[in-house]
Amino acid sequence: MELRKQKIDYITFIQSLAVTLVVIGHSFPKEILTDSLPAWAACIRSLIYSFHMPLFFVLAGFLFVYSFEKKGLGSFKEFFIKKFNRLIIPYIAVGSVAYCLKTFIFNSFAYRPSTPSALFYLKSMLYPLSNPNIYLWFLPTIFIVFLIFYFLVGRKKYIVPIFVFSLMLSVLSDNISISFLNIQGVLYYIFYFVCGIMIFYYKNKLFDLFKNKFFILTTLSIYLSIYLSIYLSAISSDIVKIPLALCGIVLSFSMALICSDKNYKFLWGILDGWYYQIYLLSWFAQTGLRIFYQINLISYYTCVIIMILGAFLFSFLMIKIIANYFPRLKIFIGM
């Protein structure tokens, strides 16, 4: 399979899969009576969370090197501006709207109430895990990773020591509690970015392996074994979380490659090209729809379903409105 076809089919498949996992993972509200997730919802959520965000970083690393080899990265100034426009402007814009809505409308229903003050707002931007729309933490985190690897890209002969060093950072990140700009998250997820680079460099050999049925079954068995050991014993160490995430990532690649070879698209291609906008906008619909459950107007199961469907429908509606009627706003949602 030539790389151009992979870029269109295989990468797009995984992007659509990844954002669908994000939407589903964010669609389980806490039960009113217990203030916690039902056991079945917690199980599904933990399965998704075991690898879905590492998968985004792997994709970013893969496409980063692909872009570099195809057309270069330009000067650091050009690269910085491009990534700032793509990641930080939406982070500030969407985060600011989320702050206003949460503070002045949704605050009484929020799991993490907001405070109407300039200091709180500034802190929420500088400390991404405190952002009213906590889902946005990914944007400044991957932005910093991109800036770091601008100076490392193209050094293929050093990729193995970089891989080992990034793995060490990931394992040790639990002991480095720097929440400013989510530096702790940068240290943890940079390993998966390097994994994406490694997959790109060795794709010809790895892709054949990823499509091997015995390899897929073995990887699935390892994934389930690790997951059950974590889920049943509540282990949270990165020593087991990292191999669990890697197995989930490999299985995602395997599914995408096999489907791509057969010209199958994820969800018939409905999400193709819009995964970033869905990621940015889905919070608004899900937060609003969750309130119907919190005030006892709908059942828990109904809430989960409408939060999933509403996230996609609202995102597509906003994309269409902005594209057709407010084109100057497209930069704020990464279009």
Per-residue pLDDT of 26-83, as tens digits, reads: 999 988 777 788 889 989 999 999 999 999 999 999 999 998 888 888 899 999 999 9
Alpha carbons 57 and 199: distance in angstroms, whole number: 12
Nearest alpha carbon to residue 94 among 60, 133, 63? 133
Name the nearest CA neighbour of 246 among 170, 185, 178: 170
29 in a structural domain: yes
pLDDT value at residue 5: 41
The pTM assigned to this predicted structure is 0.92
* Local confidence band at 230 (pLDDT 50, 70, 90 cut-offs): confident
Q: How far apart are CA 256 and CA 186, in angstroms?
A: 27
Domain total in the chain: 1
pLDDT of the residue at 289: 94
Q: What is the pLDDT of residue 8?
A: 67
Helix segments in 26-88, DSSP class H: 39-49, 52-71, 76-83
**What are the angstrom distances between the C-alpha of 139 and each of 183, 213, 267?**
12, 35, 25
pLDDT exceeds 90 at position 117 = no
Note the pLDDT of residue 207.
94
Q: Which string of b and e fits 269-298 if b means at least 16 CB within 10 Å?
A: eebbebbbbbbbbbbbbbbbbbbebeeeeb
- CA distances for 216 relative to 119, 247, 314, angstroms: 50, 9, 36
**pLDDT score, position 238:** 66
pLDDT tens-digit series, residues 262-320: 988 888 888 988 999 999 999 999 999 999 999 999 999 999 999 999 999 999 999 99
Residues constituting the chain: 335
Q: DSSP 3-state assignment of 80?
A: helix
Per-residue pLDDT at 174: 83
159: tokens are: 């990729």
Q: Are 279 and 324 in contact (CB under 8 A)?
A: no
Question: For residue 70, what pLDDT is reported?
Answer: 85
For the cut 70, the answer to whether the pLDDT of residue 114 exceeds it is yes
In a domain, 131, yes or no: no
In this structure, is the dihedral angle defined by the CA atoms of residues 210, 211, 214 and 217, taken in order, positive or negative?
A: positive
d(CA 91, CA 279): 11
| pLDDT the model gives residue 2 | 42
Confidence band of 148 (pLDDT split at 50, 70, 90): very high
Banded model confidence at residue 326, pLDDT cuts 50, 70, 90: very high
User: If you average pLDDT over residues 203-219, what whole number do you get?
Assistant: 94
In a domain, 285, yes or no: no
Span 211-220, average pLDDT: 96
Separation CA 190–CA 202 (nearest Å): 19
What pLDDT, on the 0 to 100 scale, is given for residue 33? 72
For 76, half-sphere exposure in the C-beta direction (CA atoms, 13 angstrom radius) is: 7
User: Residue 42: inside a domain, yes or no?
Assistant: yes
The answer as to whether 173 is a domain residue is: yes
Amino acid at 275: Y
Residues of the chain with pLDDT > 90: what percent? 65
Task: Please classify residue 226 by burial: count the beta carbons closer than 10 Å to its beta carbon, then call 0-12 exposed, 13-18 middle and 19+ buried.
Answer: buried
- Report the alpha-carbon distance of residue 56 to residue 196 in Å, rounded: 9
Mean pLDDT of the chain: 90
Domain range for 2 is 1-70+153-273
Distance CA 27, CA 303 (A): 8
Q: Please check whether residue 259 lies inside any domain of the structure.
A: yes
Q: What does the pLDDT average to over 166-172?
A: 92
pLDDT at 56: 96
102-105-277 Cα angle (round to 5): 50
**Is residue 77 domain-resident?**
no
- State the pLDDT at residue 6: 42
CB 170 within 8 A of CB 242: yes
Residue 62 included in any domain? yes
**C-alpha angle with apex 105: 49 to 289, nearest 5 degrees?**
45
Given pLDDT bands bounded at 50, 70 and 90, which one contains residue 234?
A: low
